[in-house]
Amino acid sequence: MALRFTLRQLEYFVSVGEHGSIAQASAQVNVSSPSISAAISQLEDEFGLPLFVRKHAHGLSLTQPGRQFMEQARKVLAEADSLNRLAGAISGVVQGPLSVGCLLTFAQVLLPAIRRGFQQTHPDVRMSQIECDQRTLIEKLRRADIDVALSYDLEVPPDLEFIPLRSLPLYAVVAADHPLADRKTVSAEILADYPMVLLDLPISRTYFMSIFERAGVVPNIVERTRDMAVMRSLVANGFGFSVANIRPHSDLSPDGRVLRFIPLEGTHRPMRLGFIVPEGARSILSVNAFIDHTTQTVSNWGFPGLPITDVA
Protein backbone atom coordinates (compact mmCIF):
# COMPACT_ATOMS: atom_id res chain seq x y z
CA MET A 1 0.00 0.00 0.00
CA ALA A 2 1.48 3.36 -1.03
CA LEU A 3 1.97 6.03 1.60
CA ARG A 4 -0.68 8.74 1.42
CA PHE A 5 1.54 11.42 2.90
CA THR A 6 5.15 12.57 3.09
CA LEU A 7 7.26 13.35 6.12
CA ARG A 8 7.56 16.90 4.84
CA GLN A 9 3.76 17.29 4.83
CA LEU A 10 3.65 16.01 8.40
CA GLU A 11 6.36 18.47 9.42
CA TYR A 12 4.36 21.38 8.00
CA PHE A 13 1.16 20.10 9.60
CA VAL A 14 2.77 19.84 13.06
CA SER A 15 4.30 23.30 12.75
CA VAL A 16 0.94 24.87 11.84
CA GLY A 17 -0.73 22.99 14.69
CA GLU A 18 1.83 24.25 17.18
CA HIS A 19 1.74 27.87 16.02
CA GLY A 20 -1.93 28.17 15.03
CA SER A 21 -0.83 30.16 12.01
CA ILE A 22 0.43 29.33 8.53
CA ALA A 23 2.49 32.52 8.48
CA GLN A 24 4.27 31.65 11.74
CA ALA A 25 4.80 28.07 10.62
CA SER A 26 6.25 29.40 7.37
CA ALA A 27 8.82 31.40 9.30
CA GLN A 28 9.62 28.42 11.53
CA VAL A 29 10.29 25.89 8.76
CA ASN A 30 11.54 28.47 6.24
CA VAL A 31 9.02 27.51 3.54
CA SER A 32 6.53 29.75 1.74
CA SER A 33 2.99 30.02 3.10
CA PRO A 34 1.38 28.77 -0.14
CA SER A 35 3.51 25.60 0.04
CA ILE A 36 2.39 24.94 3.60
CA SER A 37 -1.26 25.63 2.73
CA ALA A 38 -1.02 23.19 -0.16
CA ALA A 39 0.52 20.51 2.05
CA ILE A 40 -2.29 20.85 4.61
CA SER A 41 -4.96 20.71 1.90
CA GLN A 42 -3.34 17.58 0.41
CA LEU A 43 -3.36 15.85 3.80
CA GLU A 44 -7.01 16.72 4.36
CA ASP A 45 -7.95 15.51 0.86
CA GLU A 46 -6.00 12.25 1.19
CA PHE A 47 -7.53 11.32 4.53
CA GLY A 48 -10.94 12.89 3.95
CA LEU A 49 -10.85 14.70 7.28
CA PRO A 50 -10.81 18.37 8.27
CA LEU A 51 -7.65 18.90 10.32
CA PHE A 52 -8.12 22.61 11.03
CA VAL A 53 -10.91 25.08 11.59
CA ARG A 54 -10.16 28.29 9.69
CA LYS A 55 -11.08 31.34 11.76
CA HIS A 56 -11.00 34.68 9.98
CA ALA A 57 -8.34 36.94 11.54
CA HIS A 58 -7.77 34.38 14.30
CA GLY A 59 -5.58 31.80 12.56
CA LEU A 60 -6.25 28.06 12.57
CA SER A 61 -7.40 25.71 15.32
CA LEU A 62 -7.03 21.93 15.30
CA THR A 63 -10.22 19.93 14.99
CA GLN A 64 -10.73 16.85 17.16
CA PRO A 65 -9.39 14.57 14.36
CA GLY A 66 -6.62 17.11 13.85
CA ARG A 67 -5.50 16.80 17.47
CA GLN A 68 -5.37 13.02 17.16
CA PHE A 69 -3.41 13.29 13.92
CA MET A 70 -1.05 15.80 15.55
CA GLU A 71 -0.17 13.38 18.34
CA GLN A 72 0.56 10.56 15.90
CA ALA A 73 2.39 12.81 13.44
CA ARG A 74 4.84 13.83 16.16
CA LYS A 75 5.56 10.17 16.87
CA VAL A 76 6.12 9.44 13.17
CA LEU A 77 8.53 12.38 12.83
CA ALA A 78 10.39 11.32 15.98
CA GLU A 79 10.78 7.78 14.64
CA ALA A 80 12.02 9.15 11.31
CA ASP A 81 14.64 11.20 13.17
CA SER A 82 15.65 8.07 15.07
CA LEU A 83 16.15 6.19 11.80
CA ASN A 84 18.35 8.98 10.47
CA ARG A 85 20.44 8.94 13.61
CA LEU A 86 20.70 5.16 13.59
CA ALA A 87 21.97 5.27 10.02
CA GLY A 88 24.53 7.88 11.06
CA ALA A 89 25.64 5.81 14.04
CA ILE A 90 26.07 2.70 11.89
CA SER A 91 27.93 4.52 9.14
CA GLY A 92 29.89 6.78 11.49
CA VAL A 93 28.70 9.83 9.53
CA VAL A 94 27.39 12.83 11.50
CA GLN A 95 24.08 13.54 9.81
CA GLY A 96 20.37 14.14 10.28
CA PRO A 97 18.47 16.82 12.19
CA LEU A 98 19.90 18.66 15.20
CA SER A 99 17.86 21.17 17.17
CA VAL A 100 19.86 23.44 19.49
CA GLY A 101 18.47 25.73 22.16
CA CYS A 102 20.41 28.67 23.57
CA LEU A 103 19.86 31.03 26.49
CA LEU A 104 18.65 34.45 25.35
CA THR A 105 21.35 36.33 27.23
CA PHE A 106 24.24 35.13 25.10
CA ALA A 107 22.73 33.60 21.95
CA GLN A 108 23.81 36.61 19.87
CA VAL A 109 27.38 36.34 21.19
CA LEU A 110 27.97 32.62 20.67
CA LEU A 111 25.48 30.69 18.61
CA PRO A 112 25.67 32.08 15.04
CA ALA A 113 29.45 31.67 14.74
CA ILE A 114 29.41 28.26 16.45
CA ARG A 115 26.63 27.12 14.13
CA ARG A 116 28.41 28.37 11.02
CA GLY A 117 31.59 26.48 11.84
CA PHE A 118 29.71 23.34 12.82
CA GLN A 119 27.65 23.24 9.64
CA GLN A 120 30.76 23.81 7.51
CA THR A 121 32.38 20.82 9.22
CA HIS A 122 29.25 18.65 9.16
CA PRO A 123 27.25 19.60 6.04
CA ASP A 124 24.96 16.56 6.34
CA VAL A 125 23.47 17.84 9.61
CA ARG A 126 20.23 19.84 9.29
CA MET A 127 20.61 22.23 12.20
CA SER A 128 17.96 24.52 13.66
CA GLN A 129 18.11 26.86 16.65
CA ILE A 130 15.84 28.56 19.15
CA GLU A 131 16.60 31.22 21.76
CA CYS A 132 14.63 31.38 25.02
CA ASP A 133 14.92 31.57 28.80
CA GLN A 134 16.16 28.79 31.08
CA ARG A 135 12.76 27.41 32.08
CA THR A 136 11.63 27.17 28.46
CA LEU A 137 14.87 25.44 27.48
CA ILE A 138 14.29 22.81 30.16
CA GLU A 139 10.69 22.29 29.05
CA LYS A 140 11.77 21.87 25.43
CA LEU A 141 14.49 19.36 26.36
CA ARG A 142 11.97 17.30 28.32
CA ARG A 143 9.52 17.34 25.39
CA ALA A 144 12.35 16.46 22.96
CA ASP A 145 11.67 19.67 21.02
CA ILE A 146 15.42 20.33 21.17
CA ASP A 147 18.36 17.93 21.42
CA VAL A 148 20.82 20.05 23.40
CA ALA A 149 20.80 23.44 25.12
CA LEU A 150 23.67 25.87 25.57
CA SER A 151 23.00 27.58 28.90
CA TYR A 152 24.01 28.09 32.55
CA ASP A 153 24.08 25.64 35.46
CA LEU A 154 21.07 27.27 37.11
CA GLU A 155 18.31 25.03 38.53
CA VAL A 156 19.09 22.15 36.20
CA PRO A 157 16.72 19.32 37.24
CA PRO A 158 18.15 15.86 38.10
CA ASP A 159 16.61 14.21 35.03
CA LEU A 160 18.84 16.35 32.80
CA GLU A 161 22.64 16.40 32.64
CA PHE A 162 24.81 19.54 32.77
CA ILE A 163 28.16 19.39 30.95
CA PRO A 164 30.35 22.35 32.03
CA LEU A 165 32.16 24.40 29.42
CA ARG A 166 33.50 27.56 31.11
CA SER A 167 33.22 29.41 34.40
CA LEU A 168 32.12 33.02 33.97
CA PRO A 169 32.96 35.69 36.58
CA LEU A 170 30.58 38.45 37.58
CA TYR A 171 30.93 42.01 36.28
CA ALA A 172 29.25 45.29 37.05
CA VAL A 173 28.49 46.97 33.72
CA VAL A 174 28.55 50.78 33.71
CA ALA A 175 28.68 53.64 31.24
CA ALA A 176 32.06 55.22 30.48
CA ASP A 177 31.04 58.38 32.39
CA HIS A 178 29.56 56.56 35.40
CA PRO A 179 31.03 57.63 38.79
CA LEU A 180 32.37 54.07 39.27
CA ALA A 181 33.78 53.67 35.76
CA ASP A 182 37.44 54.02 36.78
CA ARG A 183 37.34 51.50 39.62
CA LYS A 184 39.33 48.27 39.30
CA THR A 185 36.75 46.32 41.30
CA VAL A 186 33.43 47.13 42.95
CA SER A 187 31.28 45.63 45.71
CA ALA A 188 27.56 44.95 45.83
CA GLU A 189 27.31 47.34 48.80
CA ILE A 190 28.67 50.24 46.74
CA LEU A 191 26.52 49.39 43.70
CA ALA A 192 23.37 49.48 45.82
CA ASP A 193 23.76 53.27 46.10
CA TYR A 194 23.24 53.70 42.34
CA PRO A 195 20.30 53.05 39.96
CA MET A 196 20.26 49.55 38.46
CA VAL A 197 19.09 48.09 35.13
CA LEU A 198 18.07 44.48 35.82
CA LEU A 199 18.35 41.75 33.21
CA ASP A 200 14.94 40.36 34.11
CA LEU A 201 14.86 36.73 32.96
CA PRO A 202 13.48 33.80 34.97
CA ILE A 203 16.12 32.08 37.14
CA SER A 204 18.87 34.47 35.95
CA ARG A 205 17.00 37.25 37.78
CA THR A 206 17.13 35.25 41.02
CA TYR A 207 20.86 34.67 40.61
CA PHE A 208 21.64 38.36 40.08
CA MET A 209 19.45 39.44 43.00
CA SER A 210 21.17 36.93 45.30
CA ILE A 211 24.41 38.89 44.93
CA PHE A 212 22.84 41.80 46.79
CA GLU A 213 20.90 39.63 49.24
CA ARG A 214 24.13 37.99 50.44
CA ALA A 215 25.62 41.46 50.96
CA GLY A 216 22.58 42.50 53.00
CA VAL A 217 21.61 45.35 50.65
CA VAL A 218 18.70 46.06 48.31
CA PRO A 219 19.51 47.30 44.78
CA ASN A 220 17.74 50.37 43.41
CA ILE A 221 16.15 48.85 40.30
CA VAL A 222 14.91 51.58 37.95
CA GLU A 223 14.72 49.66 34.66
CA ARG A 224 14.06 46.03 33.68
CA THR A 225 14.57 44.27 30.36
CA ARG A 226 14.69 40.69 29.07
CA ASP A 227 17.08 41.61 26.26
CA MET A 228 20.86 41.69 26.79
CA ALA A 229 21.39 44.21 23.96
CA VAL A 230 18.73 46.54 25.37
CA MET A 231 20.29 46.25 28.82
CA ARG A 232 23.69 47.29 27.47
CA SER A 233 22.22 50.27 25.63
CA LEU A 234 20.28 51.42 28.70
CA VAL A 235 23.46 51.21 30.77
CA ALA A 236 25.56 52.99 28.14
CA ASN A 237 23.02 55.83 28.01
CA GLY A 238 23.15 56.45 31.73
CA PHE A 239 20.00 54.77 33.03
CA GLY A 240 21.96 52.77 35.59
CA PHE A 241 24.49 49.99 36.09
CA SER A 242 23.80 46.31 35.49
CA VAL A 243 25.33 42.98 36.44
CA ALA A 244 26.29 40.29 33.94
CA ASN A 245 28.51 37.24 33.41
CA ILE A 246 28.81 37.55 29.67
CA ARG A 247 31.43 40.01 28.47
CA PRO A 248 31.32 40.17 24.66
CA HIS A 249 34.34 40.72 22.46
CA SER A 250 33.50 44.42 22.11
CA ASP A 251 32.96 46.77 25.05
CA LEU A 252 30.57 48.89 22.99
CA SER A 253 26.81 49.02 23.40
CA PRO A 254 24.64 48.32 20.32
CA ASP A 255 24.39 52.08 19.68
CA GLY A 256 28.19 52.47 19.77
CA ARG A 257 28.69 53.92 23.25
CA VAL A 258 31.55 52.73 25.48
CA LEU A 259 30.86 50.43 28.41
CA ARG A 260 33.07 49.51 31.36
CA PHE A 261 33.09 45.98 32.81
CA ILE A 262 34.22 46.02 36.46
CA PRO A 263 34.87 42.72 38.31
CA LEU A 264 32.71 42.26 41.39
CA GLU A 265 34.45 41.90 44.74
CA GLY A 266 33.72 38.98 47.04
CA THR A 267 33.31 35.22 46.78
CA HIS A 268 30.27 35.18 44.54
CA ARG A 269 29.36 31.88 42.95
CA PRO A 270 30.43 32.16 39.29
CA MET A 271 27.97 31.09 36.66
CA ARG A 272 29.07 28.09 34.60
CA LEU A 273 28.39 28.05 30.89
CA GLY A 274 27.76 24.61 29.47
CA PHE A 275 25.38 22.16 27.83
CA ILE A 276 22.14 20.75 29.19
CA VAL A 277 21.20 17.42 27.64
CA PRO A 278 18.65 14.69 28.30
CA GLU A 279 19.80 11.24 29.39
CA GLY A 280 21.52 9.33 26.60
CA ALA A 281 22.06 12.38 24.38
CA ARG A 282 25.83 11.84 24.22
CA SER A 283 25.20 8.61 22.30
CA ILE A 284 23.77 10.64 19.40
CA LEU A 285 26.57 11.45 16.97
CA SER A 286 25.29 14.89 15.98
CA VAL A 287 24.83 15.99 19.62
CA ASN A 288 28.26 14.70 20.59
CA ALA A 289 29.85 16.38 17.58
CA PHE A 290 28.16 19.70 18.44
CA ILE A 291 29.38 19.55 22.04
CA ASP A 292 32.94 18.78 20.91
CA HIS A 293 32.90 21.51 18.26
CA THR A 294 31.50 24.14 20.64
CA THR A 295 33.99 23.25 23.37
CA GLN A 296 36.91 23.65 20.97
CA THR A 297 35.52 26.86 19.47
CA VAL A 298 34.96 28.60 22.82
CA SER A 299 38.41 27.48 23.99
CA ASN A 300 40.02 29.03 20.91
CA TRP A 301 38.06 32.28 21.23
CA GLY A 302 39.00 33.06 24.80
CA PHE A 303 35.56 34.54 25.48
CA PRO A 304 32.83 34.99 26.73
CA GLY A 305 34.10 35.99 30.14
CA LEU A 306 37.05 38.07 28.99
CA PRO A 307 37.57 39.76 25.64
CA ILE A 308 40.27 38.18 23.49
CA THR A 309 42.55 41.17 24.14
CA ASP A 310 42.55 40.32 27.88
CA VAL A 311 43.56 36.68 27.36
CA ALA A 312 47.26 35.93 27.61
CB 251 within 8 A of CB 205: no
Q: Is residue 28 part of a domain?
A: yes
CA distance 118 to 147: 15
For residue 235, give the CATH number of its domain. Answer: 3.40.190.10
CA distance 49 to 47: 5
The answer to whether the predicted template modeling score (pTM) of the entire model surpasses 0.95 is: no
Which residues, at least 6 apart from 226, have a Cβ–Cβ distance to it below 8 Å? 104, 133, 199, 200, 201
Mean pLDDT of 99-125: 89
Q: Same domain, yes or no, for 208 and 156?
A: no
Confidence of residue 308 (pLDDT cuts 50, 70, 90): very low
What are the distances in angstroms from CA 123 to CA 78, 115, 201? 21, 11, 34
Least reliable range by pLDDT among 45-54, 113-122, 211-220 = 45-54
Mean pLDDT of 260-277: 88
Mean pLDDT of 25-35: 81
Domain-ending residue, one of 84, 112, 128 = 84
DSSP letter, residue 170: -
Q: Same domain, yes or no, for 77 and 209?
A: no
Q: Same domain, yes or no, for 184 and 59?
A: no
Rounded to the nearest integer, the mean pLDDT of the chain is 85
Q: Is residue 29 part of a domain?
A: yes
Least reliable range by pLDDT among 2-16, 230-244, 247-261 = 2-16
What pLDDT, on the 0 to 100 scale, is given for residue 126? 86
User: Domain range spanning residue 55?
Assistant: 7-84
Q: Same domain, yes or no, for 128 and 77?
A: no
Confidence of residue 110 (pLDDT cuts 50, 70, 90): confident
Q: Same domain, yes or no, for 284 and 198?
A: no
Q: Provide the number of structural domains found in the chain.
A: 3
Q: Is residue 89 part of a domain?
A: no
Among candidate residues 236, 280, 240, the one with its CA nearest the CA of residue 254: 236
Among candidate residues 129, 19, 5, 22, the one with its CA nearest the CA of residue 77: 5
Give per-residue pLDDT as tens, 156-176: 999 999 999 888 888 999 999
Q: Report whether pLDDT(95) > 80.
A: no
Mean pLDDT of 19-42: 84
Give per-residue pLDDT as tens, 206-239: 989 999 999 999 999 999 998 888 999 999 999 9
What pLDDT, on the 0 to 100 scale, is given for residue 106? 83
